Amino acid sequence: MAGYATGDGGIPQRNVEKSGLTRVMTLGGSYGLRNYTVKGLRDQKGKRVLCETLPFSPEEAAAAEEAGIDTMKVRFDPKQPHLAKAVRDAAPKTFMAFSVPLVAAATEDEAVRVAYTAMELGADAIMCQWSPRFVSAAAEAGVPIQGHAGLVPRKSTWTGGLKAVGKTVDEALWVYQEIKTLEDAGAYAVEVEVVPEELLIEISKRTTLLTSSIGGGRGGDIQFLFAEDILGNSPPPYPRHSKQYRKIYELQQAIHNERVGGFKDFIRDVQGGTFPGPEHVIKAADTLIGEFLERID
């Protein structure tokens, strides 16, 4: 029927448009509705700052989508693909990049295969720390790629450890060149981690890539923060660039304390003879036990 999409639940086009969602077919061949496409995200560059997070559970992903987060990342382990798939399914309408392990691919062909595996599970893009050659191979195969520059934790030995990058002119030029190399390789975006805010502001003006800032201040096209930081899943200390909007760790600790208290109360009642009480047991009929003993004796 005209105006209806195949495989997206038969939602009329007019209703899709009112929802602000876009009908898509994933690289894996599945129909769906998304808040953004790659083109839609790139069209936002210079117009508005987007919000991005990485949830660690389906529950966090569902909450982020309900809150209206623009984009998400999810960690993707090729050996346990169901974990990322569960997060994907929990937020089906949000643009989501699967973050693939650096060591998951040792050749361009393996990079394409890993990327395709993630896309078949519903990823809208791939986030990676791969070399430009691997990025180029996957991008040429049609996979949207978000690269990584600045502090790249798994490669931090080259930049002096887990600390800020780009605080000298030589480092700043290196960060810029890394981003331009990813741009030339065909990426659509780049996560830029722990660099000076003013540096990222200038770099963002000079690249077509969407820059996702985590510890790069307000210079990015996207502000990225892990869900565990936003929600305060862990106690201090916190990364300098993070902000905790809730203190879920306190709720979790309170729940843990309640569990411990419940078990202690149970043990106390059993040892004290108050559990089980009369209200917890089944009473035998007056003649049952007598007749039972006659039979067995």
> Residue 285 and residue 296: Cα distance in Å, rounded?
18
- Residue that the structure tokens 């969407």 belong to: 210
| Contacts for 227 with CB less than 8 Å, ≥ 6 apart | 53, 54, 55, 56, 60, 64, 233
Cβ atoms within 10 Å of 147's Cβ, excluding its own: 30
Residue 122, both tokens? 């519903």
Strand-strand pairing, 50-54 and 71-75: parallel
| Contacts for 115 with CB less than 8 Å, ≥ 6 apart | 100, 126, 138, 141, 143, 145
| Contacts for 134 with CB less than 8 Å, ≥ 6 apart | 105, 108, 111, 128
188: three-class secondary structure by DSSP: coil
The CA-based diameter of the chain, rounded to the nearest angstrom, is 98
- Residue that the structure tokens 């009329």 belong to: 12
Asked if 88 and 96 touch (Cβ cutoff 8 Å), the reply is yes
Q: Which of 17, 193, 228, 258 is catalytic?
A: 193
Output the 3-class SS for 15-69.
HHHHHCCEEEECCCCCEEEECCCHHHHHCCCCCCCEEEEECCCHHHHHHHHHHCC
Clarify whether 197 is annotated catalytic. Answer: no
Give the residue numbers annotated as catalytic, written as ranges.
Answer: 193
